[in-house]
Amino acid sequence: MTQQQKKKFNADTRMVPVPSQAIVPERDINEQPVLVASHLGIEFGGLKAVDDFNMIIGKTEIAGLIGPNGAGKTTVFNLLTKVYQPTSGSVLVNGKDTAGMNTVQANKLGLARTFQNIRLFSNMTVEENVRIGLHNQVSYGLMTGIFRLPGYWKGEKKQHEMALDLLSLFDMQKMADVKAGSLPYGAQRRLEIVRALATHPSLLLLDEPAAGMNPHETEELMENIIKIRDQFQIAVLLIEHDMNLVMGICEGICVLNYGRVIAKGTAEEIQRNPVVIEAYLGKQSAEEEAQG
């Protein structure tokens, strides 16, 4: 696609109303979708890791991205957050094109994420981790910090209060002074979510948030994700292998296999879809399932 064509293409899709066939919850139909990814793709030396990925996420939707291992789910996250630059297609966040942006700019536009392999600042305390998330929310200049001008004290106080507020979402305010690296696994995953929330996103991308959690913790996490959506009025896109979680809270689900979308729909539709069953369990099982 030449540059000019690309621009035209973006202009056409800039303010798309939600297409009728798109799956967004009814309450979001008249709102601008938070994310519109169209024909997104990336090649690594000829290998198409993700190809023709299309997705629309409503303003307050909880969406799921599932697929077998190596299907390209995390690559999609990296494309959306601009860790990789897509080789084709476009991503609109709140109607704004992210072409040519970097990770920092994508974050400022409203995309915040967690990581599959936890990436906390493990030598810093829990509170400091959240404060890093608040970096662009409560800001004061370099010199204000060095010379301890009034703005410093105001900013630090505000950051402290906001950090504790956010931590209280997961009842973690008591751990504020503990080193992030010494937290138990489940708490580290929760802290990553809090840290991402601190950047004031409009779309929260969670990469396997329930990995390593026990059923009880997963249950709690599901409630919390819904709570976060309701309280902050934001959309959530999550990658998860725990089908109870995905089927339990996701309003729209997208199934990826070999870098391509093979199915989209609500939880029931996905569960009944023979293509999905085949991708997960193999062809024979899919046939048995259809017969039985």
Q: Does 74 bind another protein (CB under 8 A)?
A: no
Residues 155, 140 contacting (CB under 8 angstroms): yes
User: What is the rounded (10 degree) CA torsion for 265, 268, 274, 280?
Assistant: 90
Stretch that binds another protein, among 12-20, 50-58, 85-93, 134-142 (CB under 8 A): 134-142
* Burial category of 267 from C-beta neighbours within 10 Å (exposed 0-12, middle 13-18, buried 19 and up): middle
Q: CB of 109: closest distance to another protein in angstroms? A: 10
Q: CB of 80: closest distance to another protein in angstroms? A: 11
What Å distances lie between residue 166 and 24, 94, 127, 134, 161, CA to CA?
Answer: 28, 24, 10, 10, 9
Number of residues that bind another protein (CB under 8 A): 44
Q: CB of 60: closest distance to another protein in angstroms? A: 22
Q: Which of 30, 85, 122, 271 binds another protein (CB under 8 A)?
A: 122
Nearer Cβ to another protein (160/241): 160
Nearer Cβ to another protein (194/246): 194
Q: CB of 169: closest distance to another protein in angstroms? A: 17
Q: Does 102 bind another protein (CB under 8 A)?
A: yes
What Å distances lie between residue 201 and 107, 185, 256, CA to CA?
Answer: 7, 24, 25
Kind and range of the H or E run holding 261: strand 260-265
Q: CB of 133: closest distance to another protein in angstroms? A: 5
146 to 185: interface string for another protein, x by CB under 8 A: xxx---x--xx--xx----------------xx---x---
CA–CA gap between residue 44 and residue 110 (Å, rounded): 27
3-state secondary structure 167-195: HHHHCCHHHCCCEHHHCCHHHHHHHHHHH
Tokens 């599901």, located at residue = 222
Residues forming the site for another protein (CB under 8 A): 81, 83, 102-104, 107-108, 112-113, 115, 119-125, 127-128, 131-133, 135-136, 138-140, 142, 145-148, 152, 155-156, 159-160, 177-178, 182, 195-196, 198-199
